[in-house]
Amino acid sequence: MTKLLIIGSVAAGTSVGAKARRNNEELEITIYDRDEDISYSGCGIPYFVGGEIAELDELTPRDAAFFKKRYNIDVKTRHNVEAIDHETKTATIRHLDSGETFTDTYDTLVFATGASSIIPPLPGVDLENVFPVRNIRNAEAIRRYVDVHAPKRA
């Protein structure tokens, strides 16, 4: 059986997996992501922080169980792909919660890791009221801070 391994489970990774499944019902598809949230609406983060979206769950309508049931895709969250060996077509993966390291194989590999926040080494970046805005956990932290401290300006 042909195996597709996708690294990254937000918009691009899950879209690639869904499209690959529509093209090939026999394909074995696994998605690895080091985050815990998948297929979320990054564009909706400001609306959640601003209170226009009440529940964080509205930004994460699909979970790993959805992708398994709808597309027969195995989505493994909290898994970091630490090494790729293109000659042997293997990936070394570490489960971030257990620390277990294992190897998976692939026939086709897709990188869909997106971007990461760059925090410049400036004075004040380590203050409690300075946040990156990248993922669902960032949104949750900002909203919690706003709810507790009720800042008047940003």
How does the average pLDDT of the chain come out, rounded?
94
pLDDT of residue 11: 86
What sign has the CA pseudo-torsion 70, 74, 80, 85? negative
pLDDT of residue 154 exceeding 90, the answer is: no
Compute the distance between CA of residue 4 and CA of residue 47 in angstroms, rounded to an integer. Answer: 35
pLDDT of residue 153 exceeding 90, the answer is: no
- The mean per-residue pLDDT over the stretch 14-35 comes to 96
Per-residue pLDDT tens for 77-109?
999 999 999 999 999 999 999 999 999 999 999
Give the active site residues.
43
Distance of CA 30 to the CA centre of its chain: 14
- Which domains are delineated in the chain? 3-149 (3.50.50.60)
